[in-house]
Amino acid sequence: MTLPTCMVEPIQRQKSALWYNQPAKEWMTEALPIGNGYMGAMFFGGVEKEQIQFTDGSLWSGGPGSSPDYNFGIREGAWKNLSEIRKLISNGQLKEADRLASKELTGKIASGQFGAQQTMGDLFISVEDSGVPANYKRELDLNKGEGSVSYEIGGSKYKRTYFGDYPAKVMVYNFTGSRKTSYSILFQSPHKMNSENFADGIYSFQGEVKDNGMEFECCLKFDSDGKVEFANGKIVITDAKNITIYQVAATDYTMEYPDYKGADYIAENKNALDRLKGKSYEEVRKEHLNDYKGLFSRVELILGDTHRDSVPTDRRLKEYADGTIDPDLEELYFQYSRYLMISASREGTMPLNLQGKWNNSTNPPWTCDYHMNINEEMLYWPAEVTNLGECHLPLFTYMESLVEPGKNSAKEFFNANGWIVNTMNNPFGYTSPGWGFPWGFFPGGAAWLCQHAWEHYDFNRDKTFLQETAYPLMKEAALFWMDYMVEDKAGYLVSCPSYSPEHGGISGGATMDHEIVWDLMNNCVQACEVLGVDNKFKQKAMAVRDKILPPRIGSWGQLQEWKEDVDDSTNTHRHVSHLFALYPGKQITVEHTPELSEAAKVSLKGRGDGGTGWSLAWKVNFWARLKDGDHAYKLFRRLLRPVVNQRTDMVNGGGSYSNLLCAHPPFQLDGNMGGCAGVAEMLLQSHDGYVELLPALPGNWKEGEIKGLVARGGFVVEIKWQNNQLVSAKISSHKGGNCPIKYKDKNVNITLHPGEELKLDNQLKTSL
């Protein structure tokens, strides 16, 4: 697959790092995340005792192994209630409709069968040479994709370096000291141990998740100049100046309906360990650095140098909240999301879950699932625009695995063709509505995910991907909606029953459904044109698109959240679903639908500037699309508000923990990713048929530079600005093509050949 890759010359820049001068006490708020795509780990950095918590993304409880009754949540024949529910809605008997839908259109699953993502365990590494350290530093270097801990004790210098190596599928923990000491390493897992073994410097733990029998193995390979032994359940290394621990892990999970089991995890680990044979630590590290930098260094962002690198990140965050201007911290936040994406979502791995790949619990919030009514999509918003298209791929593989079970759900719940998913999804084909109606009913999930498949094509213009992956997913999702929507009295197609995500009540048309389906049909039409296929289907998609109830403006000038004009102007609910058409959709734009865009603004103002982490992040993107950079920036600053609360707050507690992970609260990765996408959206937009430079530049970002963002069409863009005005831009293209460019009221239309680069001055005048 060809992707617009690193077409940027690296800017001479300073180090981009999070750092602290004390170890972490709390996993959620302070420990630092590393990963190799498959596995996520968090390190604390304790001097006497290091703790490294880890898991593999596929380790889950629940699913078919948990019960012979597991049936993907399907309530057979549920669709027989559909006409009655529709009749009740059409008669205005919403309570009765809600009662029946809650009983019949909800997933049927016994407690525990949905399951939850699981932590695999912890490594506790005790160091003999300890005491009060001098010059302690715990750091995450984003340029290298490496964590580190350094300190001195009694004249001896200690340094630990941690990273995840994706090509080798291994986590690497290196410990060095300038004098010899001893280490003792304890492997702990909350799961049942089937066997434990130590031979040839390799410790292995084989275990299983109790409720579903999912088997896994984790191996630790030790390289050291000291003596490595296994005694009393611990690995003891004596007289060592250097140790390197290579960690591999795998489970027997396979992403295949209906069993989801059968991977030869022992062979996978053995292969990974075999590949390490004869390689030095530095060689493995080099492999990681090449791989990581190949992705990370594609994008450079400079918003102004505030020389605050000497201030630890936790203090910096607090001072930022007190009003300090710190554009370096904003850059760091932006790049951190890219780091997290590279560390947790690579081809062949599980897709990002609510916490990416970082979960230390057997019972995590919202099961650490794939949540499709905003969260999973937001997790991938920055993928294309920030030049990490490859990191998007696990989402498509997962989507493909959901088609078959999703077709069964469509049949049994709605007697419809095509595939669906609803709000909560696990790795075991659960695509039914959730077991509670108000939060769980969201058949629009698959159609929304399909936007990602289309966008991956649109950003990269890879026709093979469109033909083989995106279009089949899109077409099947469209078939569902062609069957599901009904004609209302005015002749519009509406989604019925529907539920605006987690807000309002049952309805005969939630705006979000209509906007998502409009987007899907519109993308299907374009896909058919690009591929030159399915003319009949294309005509139908076009006709359906044009018959869907369009977004409506209500009594207080708002964009209606439902078909009926019932929005409450004082409601500040965190979901702002009806603005999907503004972002991430493109049905509403400032230029082409000014009235609707104004109505969206009224709604957004009504919802206010508060919210959970992801809600704040979404609002950054909305305001950017409304071309109000200052308002977007205000929300972005809120996203960086320091939070310590780890308990669930559904209303207004959003911000960042001191490790810069997004606080819903609790920790959810979606806000990090949404915030990163929002920064990109302030600097570059390409959804409305042209590439717009600095569409929503906040006043506070007076001068700066961005390199390597991607615009639809496969154009890689570099922009420089000063005094809040464009200075110059460079556009390069992999695939070639026509590229209309806009900056304020200036427009230019350029055509690039494959591989060509074009420079523009502040008047958009071109020079080669």
List residues near ligand FUC by CB under 6 A. Answer: 354, 366, 371, 373, 375, 439, 502, 574-575, 612, 614, 650, 664, 668
User: In terms of CB distance, is 45 or 440 closer to ligand FUC?
Assistant: 440
Burial of 397 (0-12, 13-18, 19+ CB in 10 A): middle
User: In terms of CB distance, is 642 or 653 closer to ligand FUC?
Assistant: 653
Cβ at position 365, least distance to ligand FUC in Å: 7
Residues 6+ apart with CB under 8 A from 581: 511, 515, 518, 519, 551, 587, 588, 596, 600
The Cα 43–Cα 36 span in angstroms is 14
Cβ at position 432, least distance to ligand FUC in Å: 16
Cβ at position 575, least distance to ligand FUC in Å: 6
User: In terms of CB distance, is 207 or 665 closer to ligand FUC?
Assistant: 665
User: In terms of CB distance, is 162 or 614 closer to ligand FUC?
Assistant: 614
The Cα 612–Cα 575 span in angstroms is 9
Cβ at position 251, least distance to ligand FUC in Å: 24
User: In terms of CB distance, is 353 or 603 closer to ligand FUC?
Assistant: 353
Cβ at position 574, least distance to ligand FUC in Å: 6
Burial of 536 (0-12, 13-18, 19+ CB in 10 A): exposed
CB-side neighbour CA atoms (13 Å) of 547: 19
Say which DSSP state 389 is in. G
User: In terms of CB distance, is 439 or 583 closer to ligand FUC?
Assistant: 439
User: In terms of CB distance, is 203 or 580 closer to ligand FUC?
Assistant: 580
Q: Tell me the three-class secondary structure of 304-344, residue by residue.
A: CCCCCCCCCHHHHHHHHHCCCCCHHHHHHHHHHHHHHHHHH
The Cα 102–Cα 95 span in angstroms is 10
The Cα 185–Cα 301 span in angstroms is 40
The Cα 767–Cα 259 span in angstroms is 59
User: In terms of CB distance, is 346 or 574 closer to ligand FUC?
Assistant: 574
Cβ at position 668, least distance to ligand FUC in Å: 6
User: In terms of CB distance, is 215 or 502 closer to ligand FUC?
Assistant: 502
Cβ at position 387, least distance to ligand FUC in Å: 27
Say which DSSP state 734 is in. S
* Cβ atoms < 10 Å from Cβ of 194: 12
Cβ at position 371, least distance to ligand FUC in Å: 5
The Cα 692–Cα 624 span in angstroms is 12
Burial of 223 (0-12, 13-18, 19+ CB in 10 A): middle
The Cα 451–Cα 457 span in angstroms is 10
User: In terms of CB distance, is 431 or 469 closer to ligand FUC?
Assistant: 431
Cβ at position 650, least distance to ligand FUC in Å: 6
Residues 6+ apart with CB under 8 A from 91: none
β-bridge partners, 188: 122
The Cα 682–Cα 388 span in angstroms is 18
Say which DSSP state 253 is in. B
Q: Which residue is nearest to ligand FUC (CB)?
A: 366
User: In terms of CB distance, is 369 or 476 closer to ligand FUC?
Assistant: 369
Cβ at position 38, least distance to ligand FUC in Å: 23
Cβ at position 423, least distance to ligand FUC in Å: 6
Side chain identity, residue 574 = R
